[in-house]
Chain A
Amino acid sequence: MLRFIAGRLIVVLSVGLTLSIVTFFLLNYVIDPAQAIAGEDALFEEIEQIREQYGFDRSITIRYFEWFSGIFQGDLGISYYWNKPVISLLIDRAPETITLALMSVSVTILISIPLGILAALNPNSLIDRIALGIAVTAQAVPNFWLGLIMILIFALAIPIFPVSGDKTLFHFVLPSIVLGASSVPAVMRLMRTGLLDVINADFIRTARSSGFYGWRLVFNHALRNALLPVVSVLAVQLGNKFGGSVITESVFAINGLGRLALESILGADIPTVQILVFVFAIIFLFFNLLADILNAYLDPRLRL
């Protein structure tokens, strides 16, 4: 098991290294950092002066090594747009995004897993049809629209939840439902088909012939086998929630990383953008690694 984790970790680290190179070089080639700071209407002399002052005239490779080694010393660069160290921006905004991501994935799990299990246990029944209906609807409805409708109904017409903001956990309920709902279809369907396959497997027949039945059969003998694909897709979804909550954060006016990314892009703030892209990628890799480890724990055949 330790070997397995070590092997995976090496893969993750090398992917992370590649990603850092790609993000840094892409951003610094596509946008002229000096021009970005000086503004669109700046004179040529001004731009050249900034280039010298910030050291952009040095080779891009040297700047990459400076940036990359800085990361390990806690120096993520200084945002030109916010005039603050990027790290303090991250520390400011991260709690909101983490709260939103965890809450919305909880919403996904709470809706999709039980629904998927029920649908699998009663294929082609009414509950299966309802579950399928929910899945199709949730897949078809755009996030921003669902957000606005939720605000109209549960914040304005029936004022249970606040319209927007991020002061209390209560503020996160509506956005979590909106963000969580988008992952319900994929997870629910995987749960359903996975469990349906397992229920018809030979070893379930063995368990039944030994006298196991009902929920004990499902939970002790079938669920663990069916969870493997669900775990993998949940990891991807959780990663998505960190990076992909831009729209939801905007609709509900939550000051998280998603909004920070949006504002930094609009402000052409290269130091912040490159760190955010890198951080989102690392988070994604981390959750995938976690899913691999969890899957290897669930299924001994994967511990190679």
Chain B
Amino acid sequence: MSDLLNIQNLEISFQSNNKNLKTVENFSIHLNEKESLGIVGESGSGKTLSMLALTRLLPKQASVSSGSIIFQNKNLNELDNKNFYKEISGKKISMIFQEPMTALNPVHTIGKQLLETYLYHNNVSVEKGIERALEILDAVKLPKYKQRMDQYPHQLSGGQRQRVMIALALINNPSLLIADEPTTALDVTVQKEIIQLISDLRETIGMALIFISHDLGVVSQISDNVVVMKNGEIVEKGKTLKVLEKPNHPYTQGLLDCLFKLEDEQKKNQIKDTPIIKVKEISKSYKLPAKIFKKPEIIYAVKKVTFDVKCGETIAIVGESGSGKSTVAKIINGLINKDDGEVEIKGQNIEDIEISDRAKIIQPVFQDPYSTLNPIHTIGYIVSRPLTINENKSESEVKEEVIKTLRLVGLSEDYYNRFPNQLSGGQRQRVAIARAIILKPQILICDEPTSALDVTIQSQILDLLNDLKTKLNITIILISHDISVVKYFSDRIIVMYNGEIIEMGNTNNVINVPKDKYTKRLMSSVFSLKKNDIKFT
């Protein structure tokens, strides 16, 4: 096999306040034709930046300060921008991105976008271009691809848009495709299809692939070699199976531990038989804005959902986006009103409980710790708010309580006077949890509490929640799309689809012997990396 890409000692620095900050150092990778390479690391590790440097898409403040890039025996550093864009971008090296919802231009048809990219790099007639566009849309298995040419991106689903995005990247038959977390924003069931598609197309087109991901499980499925990055440096590289089997660097080991830990059995809470929450046939529907001359359409977000949660239990609600799982959580939390049905908390109808009393029983933790903390207040203030609103305590008592709670979630007293922007994502989520538990609620509703966080942080937050669960004997309702988190964490699983519960049962039963067709699909689409899997070298 011949060389395709050879990057030596790449260094990327950021210009900020007249200082040069090196963000990527000593980045060297080598790729043969038709080979695939996975780059793994958390956000901020420089995995995306190094690839943006290769495709000359770096943000304005960043620049390549040294290093050589040899692509197809050509030194790319000697190519000026104009020639690079004309000869390499989109023609030899293509890239697909994480967010398919925004990656396509909303004001142009699919056909126009494909056609323009093809005609720009190839001197052929429009008819030939349309032919090629149809051919590639068929190749990415876009359903009803012939009609899609005249459609706009907003008329397609996320998975379909990512297929179009892949078509756009492959229309010029590139030698190298860079995929930057192409499935992270998609539902799990769609994820698997897209990864399969990329893998198949690589074979048929015969191109090389660089796959960037934070998910070792996904990377192990698709790449021959793997590179692990941390803080702008490569800490480990080698054949994927070898690295997974025998990691040399403690960081890689840590990443693997986080994955494997999710397989381990958990110590469980004492579960009492008395239900703490009773949900009976709740429904919630939305009216779409009325159009002239047309009846308003009604969409059911939740349709006659019934379940109990026992005291001390951890129950997980899973399903893809739009399945109604968050709506159920919001109804139980009293954040939105239901149309129909009953919710009882500790034997009391939810409407009959005063809001301030409800706050002491049930508290939420949300997904995105970057937007759930008010940036203009200190951590101490943020955590103290539920106390000052709901309980009559002196200032010193409140402060004492806040610091005690901060310690409980693993943050020292020093954080009291800091602001949210001085904290990392994981620390912010700890603050959000502290705010939720300061009133000592019996129920926590966690809506995707870890999905915005990196893998290693994710496992720390899960550990914390687990710890608190037993210490404070809290009942937890966990909303998640991540089956491995659910498996690790919950006693029972509720599977929702289109606003209805389609399966409910013990975690192990649902995961190992799913009954419903959709649940089966959901479970089979998880790329779990099992210890046993690696032993086949």
Q: Please give the residue numbers on chain A whose beta carbons come within 8 Å of chain B beta carbons, in ascending order.
A: 3, 6-7, 10, 201-203, 205-213, 220-221, 224-225, 298-301, 304
State the B residues within 8 Å of A (CB). 55, 57, 81-82, 85-86, 88-91, 94-95, 97, 99, 102-108, 116-117, 120-121, 152, 154, 165, 168-169, 291-292
* Closest residue on chain A to residue B94 by CB atoms: A209
Most chain A beta-carbon neighbours within 10 Å: one of B91, B99, B106: B106
Q: A209-B90, A300-B107 are in contact. Are A202 and B85 (CB under 8 A)?
A: no
Q: CA of A304 to CA of B55 in the docked complex: distance in angstroms? A: 38
Q: Which residues of A contact B99 (CB under 8 A)?
A: 202
Contact A206:B89 (CB < 8 A) given known A225-B105, A225-B106, A299-B106: no
Q: Give bound CA distance, A301 to B105, whole Å.
A: 11
Pairwise interchain contact B57-A208, C-beta atoms closer than 8 A:
yes
Pairwise interchain contact A201-B120, C-beta atoms closer than 8 A:
no
In angstroms, Cα B153 to Cα A201, docked, is: 15
- B94 and A210 contacting across the interface, CB-CB below 8 Å: yes
Whether A203 touches B81, Cβ cut-off 8 Å, given contacts A208-B57, A209-B57, A304-B291, is no
- Is the Cβ of B103 less than 8 Å from the Cβ of A220? no
Chain B positions within 8 Å of A299 at CB level: 106-107
The minimal Cβ–Cβ distance linking B165 to chain A, given in whole angstroms, is 7
Q: Is the CB of B89 within 8 A of A202?
A: no
How far is A109 from B168 in the complex, measured between Cα atoms in Å? 35
Cβ–Cβ contact A203 & B104, under 8 A? yes
On whether the beta carbons of A210 and B97 are closer than 8 Å, the reply is no
Is the Cβ of B85 less than 8 Å from the Cβ of A300?
no
What residues of chain A lie closer than 8 Å to B116, measured between beta carbons? 220
What residue of chain B has the Cβ atom nearest to residue A298's Cβ?
Answer: B107
A-B contact count (CB 8 A): 74
Given contacts A300-B106, A300-B107, contact A213 B292 (CB under 8 A): no
**Which of B88, B94, B102, B292 is in CB contact (< 8 Å) with A203?**
B102
A209 CA / B93 CA spacing, docked (Å) = 8
Is B102's CB under 8 angstroms from A201's CB? Answer: yes
Closest residue on chain B to residue A8 by CB atoms:
B292
Closest chain B CB from A120 CB (angstroms): 13
Q: Are B105 and A205 in contact (CB under 8 A)?
A: no
Cα separation A53 to B86 with both chains bound (whole Å): 81
- Within 8 Å CB of A210, what residues of B? 89-90, 94, 117, 120, 168-169
* Residue in contact with A202 in the complex, picked from B86, B102, B154, CB distance below 8 Å: B102
- With contacts A7-B292, A300-B152, A301-B152 known, is A206 near B106, CB below 8 A? no
| Docked complex Cα distance between A24 and B477 (Å) | 63
Closest to A202 in B: B102
Task: Select B91's contact among A211, A213, A221, A298, beta carbons within 8 Å.
Answer: A211
The answer on a CB contact under 8 Å between B107 and A206 is: no
Given the known interface contacts A202-B97, A209-B55, A210-B168, the answer about A10 and B292 at a Cβ–Cβ threshold of 8 Å is yes
Measured CA separation A25–B7 after assembly (Å): 79
| Cα(A203)–Cα(B102), bound, Å | 6
Do residues B85 and A213 form an inter-chain contact, with CB atoms below 8 A?
yes
Q: A210-B168, A224-B107, A300-B107 are in contact. List 13 more A-B contacts (CB 8 A).
A: A203-B104, A205-B57, A206-B105, A208-B85, A209-B94, A210-B120, A211-B86, A211-B89, A211-B117, A212-B85, A213-B82, A301-B106, A301-B154
